[in-house]
Structure 1
Amino acid sequence: MHSPSELLKKIEKAITEIQYPAHPASLYEPISYIMGLGGKRIRPTMLLMSTELFQGDLESAIPAALAIETFHNFTLIHDDIMDNAPLRRGQQTVHEKWGDNTAILSGDVMMVEANKHLTKVDISVLRPALDTFNATAQGVCEGQQLDMEFETREDVSIDEYINMIRLKTAVLLGGAMKLGAIVANAAEGDAERIYEFGENLGIAFQLQDDILDVYGDPEKFGKQVGGDIISDKKTFLRLKLQQLALPSHAAHLSAQANNSNTADKIKQVTYLYDQYQVKEQATEIMQEYLENAFRAMEQIDLPEHRKTELINVANLLMNREY
């Protein structure tokens, strides 16, 4: 079996070999641009790891890996437009560089390109591969819509929030791993279990992201700590606080929406989180989803040594420091 770093090199090489049409250049240049910005490539790497787990042919899984990575970057282009984000991976976002209209069209074409990649998998698995990819893509779009709706709702429940992050974030990891299993001709039950592994890991990862946004080391986290508090984002921590807070504390939390002093706002909301031990409760739920992931992996009837690399990667993903 290959190491994750070896698989990443294969993915990067495959990305550089993609030939997009030359005309109109303004449509395809943004695609080459965002695909070339790098990133961790976690999803295509774990797709290939899933293929190797079930002893499938690695090269036959490359088109599926490219489909997943192309789709993921398509969502980033459109997400950046919706968020009016100026930077992506430290560089100008596509809409900042080429304008909103071109960014929308380039993103649309990326969805087509993703499907073109996927149709290169073996014909014997094409139907289940397409079904899995389409269900995954639809779920991600549903999750993004729910996330936007939550911005204007004051009655979002924790269950609704978990479902939103499942759709927006976790189904793409689960779908990628299931695609890897399908290409490897894994048994249907095993393909479902590796999906459960990826989906539960994705939920745990996002819950950890919520925690790190408040309690993380900014140098190690890679993002501004307290960003979710500044933007009044409805994370697990905030929703749990709203569920537990006494009326006086709930009123104080609501009042922070008008606090223009960002440093003080972070301090005030974090104080409330500490009072209700919200971090500890979020960590407990995160661990439950991580255990669900490992339980799904245990149910796959393969020698334990074949699962080791994937388990190590999962632990590495979840070993970000606070």
Structure 2
Amino acid sequence: MVMAAPTGIEHQLDRLYPPAPGGLATWLPGGHGDGLSAGTAQALDRRLHHALAEPVRHMVDAGGKRWRPRLLTQIVELLGGDAEQFGVLAAALELAHTGSLVVDDVQDGSPMRRARPAAHEVYGLPVALTAGTCAYFAFDRAIDLCAPDDPALRGRMREALLAALRAAHAGQALDIQGHRREMDHALATGDNGPLLELVLATHRLKSGALVGACCQIAALAAGASPALCRALLDWGTAIGTAYQISDDVADLRGVTDEDGTLTKHPAEDLRNGKVTLPLAHAVTLLPGPTAQALWTTVRDGDATDAAIHTARRTLLTCGATTAAEDDADHLCTTAWQSLEPLLPSTPATTRLRATGHHAAGAGRGA
């Protein structure tokens, strides 16, 4: 199932990140372009578009599931807000997510994303890092466009996004460090509880926080109560965390698009010696010596293709992926049980839950 993008999302993406140079106001806040001659302003616009827009549009134009914008617009509409007015926020959050993928691919050394070369493979590492981080700030311009006469609302939205970005960077820092020592300890003691908690916390920070902010900002845009804003933040965080768990599973199963084209190399996490939720579950699902041998094989990121294939099959057949999926489902179900009583009993609420349910499992692959 592929969810349609919200009406007008392509227009809003073009509004924030035009496919061709569209003026310095896209990149520079007020005053920073003042005093430049027309020729210099045009030259700077071309250069900044090439350095900041093209690497991100390289990924945006490749497609993607676009379920984050769908969540935002559905929540705004469900709560009686103006989805058209705030549609630019949906585009900004999609750009922020895409920017995080550009940076993540650099840090993970991933050569492919969405069935095309990753941005750093095309534009180089320095350009990709700068463009990826710049995409986080499209939101700043978006809130000025959608709420020019409401400084209090703009402030609350900025607070929500900045909190999510702080959390996401903490999660990315933990992800880069990895959890090898904790995996060693779990195997030595047979207790994987602390390891599972750490992996889930990393997923919640890295991936859950931005989705939570997406839902919270939608609630703020619609004028929701503090209790409802909080419940939507928690539910969105659960959806984003579950999506990252599903991505762990998809990495093992292989990620393809609808026509079967490979969109990411399978078992990248195993090849990099990365501790994912299925690997953490395998500590107690496999016999101790088997689990230790699997980890020893992949720990240092230098395993052969044959060894990776064997490790991958072991994780797929021992129940580790099922256990991870159960964790994802539990997170989403628990958060929805707290949110549902605060929402109107309408078909729109049913559709919102379906969108979140699908998004949470969208990364599981075939």
TM range (shorter): 0.7 to 0.9
Residues 30-45 of structure 1 mapped to structure 2, 5 A cutoff: 30-33=51-54, 34-35=56-57, 36-37=60-61, 38-45=63-70
Q: 1:226 and 2:251 equivalent? A: no
Residue in 2 aligned with 1:194? Answer: 232
Among 43, 49, 55, which residue is 2:80 paired with? Answer: 55
Q: Deviations over 1:213-243 (max 9, x none)?
A: 3346753884444333333221111112224
Task: Please report how far the alpha carbon of residue 10 of structure 1 lies from its aligned counterpart in structure 2 after TM superposition.
Answer: 1.0
Q: 1:166 and 2:185 equivalent? A: no
Residue 55 of structure 1 aligns to a residue whose secondary structure is coil
- The alpha-carbon distance between structure 1 residues 225 and 96, as it changes in their structure 2 partners (threshold 3 A), is closer
The separation in 2 between residues aligned to 1:74 and 1:169, in whole angstroms, is 13
Q: Deviations over 1:277-306 (max 9, x none)?
A: 323322322221121233133122312322
Residue in 2 aligned with 1:131? Answer: 159
The separation in 2 between residues aligned to 1:85 and 1:12, in whole angstroms, is 27
- The alpha-carbon distance between structure 1 residues 207 and 63, as it changes in their structure 2 partners (threshold 3 A), is same
Residue in 1 aligned with 2:188? Answer: none
Among 294, 310, 315, which residue is 1:267 paired with? Answer: 310
Q: 1:13 and 2:56 equivalent? A: no
Among 115, 118, 124, which residue is 1:99 paired with? Answer: 124
Residue 240 of structure 2 aligns to a residue whose secondary structure is helix
> Aligned AA for 1:26?
R
Q: Which moved more, 1:156-165 or 1:208-217?
A: 208-217
The separation in 2 between residues aligned to 1:215 and 1:99, in whole angstroms, is 29
Task: Please report how far the alpha carbon of residue 309 of structure 1 lies from its aligned counterpart in structure 2 after TM superposition.
Answer: 1.6
Task: Please report how far the alpha carbon of residue 93 of structure 1 lies from its aligned counterpart in structure 2 after TM superposition.
Answer: 3.3
Residue 8 of structure 2 aligns to a residue whose secondary structure is helix
The separation in 2 between residues aligned to 1:100 and 1:20, in whole angstroms, is 26
> Aligned AA for 1:48?
T
Query: What are the ranges of 5 or more consecutive residues in structure 2 without an aligned counterpart?
Result: 17-21, 25-41, 184-193
> Aligned AA for 2:75?
S
Task: Please report how far the alpha carbon of residue 53 of structure 1 lies from its aligned counterpart in structure 2 after TM superposition.
Answer: 1.3
Residue in 1 aligned with 2:145? Answer: 120
The separation in 1 between residues aligned to 2:216 and 2:159, in whole angstroms, is 11
Asked if structure 1 preserves the Cα contact closer than 8 Å seen for 2:113 and 2:263, the reply is no
Residue in 2 aligned with 1:291? Answer: 333
- The alpha-carbon distance between structure 1 residues 157 and 310, as it changes in their structure 2 partners (threshold 3 A), is same
TM-score by length of 2: 0.77
Residue in 1 aligned with 2:38? Answer: none
TM-score by length of 1: 0.86
Asked if structure 2 preserves the Cα contact closer than 8 Å seen for 1:27 and 1:102, the reply is no
> Aligned AA for 2:233?
Y
Asked if structure 2 preserves the Cα contact closer than 8 Å seen for 1:230 and 1:266, the reply is no
Asked if structure 1 preserves the Cα contact closer than 8 Å seen for 2:6 and 2:73, the reply is no
Q: 1:77 and 2:105 equivalent? A: no
The separation in 1 between residues aligned to 2:232 and 2:106, in whole angstroms, is 33
Identity of aligned residues (%): 22
The separation in 2 between residues aligned to 1:108 and 1:223, in whole angstroms, is 22
Q: Deviations over 1:87-131 (max 9, x none)?
A: 332334333333323333333433333312223342141121111
RMSD: 2.7
> Aligned AA for 1:79?
D
Task: Please report how far the alpha carbon of residue 202 of structure 1 lies from its aligned counterpart in structure 2 after TM superposition.
Answer: 1.8
Paired residues in the alignment total 317
Task: Please report how far the alpha carbon of residue 82 of structure 1 lies from its aligned counterpart in structure 2 after TM superposition.
Answer: 1.8
Among 269, 272, 277, which residue is 1:236 paired with? Answer: 277
Task: Please report how far the alpha carbon of residue 245 of structure 1 lies from its aligned counterpart in structure 2 after TM superposition.
Answer: 4.5
Residue in 1 aligned with 2:245? Answer: 207
Q: Deviations over 1:233-259 (max 9, x none)?
A: 211111122245444223312332277
Asked if structure 2 preserves the Cα contact closer than 8 Å seen for 1:28 and 1:106, the reply is no
- The alpha-carbon distance between structure 1 residues 104 and 164, as it changes in their structure 2 partners (threshold 3 A), is same
The separation in 2 between residues aligned to 1:223 and 1:126, in whole angstroms, is 37
Residue 65 of structure 2 aligns to a residue whose secondary structure is coil
- The alpha-carbon distance between structure 1 residues 223 and 93, as it changes in their structure 2 partners (threshold 3 A), is closer
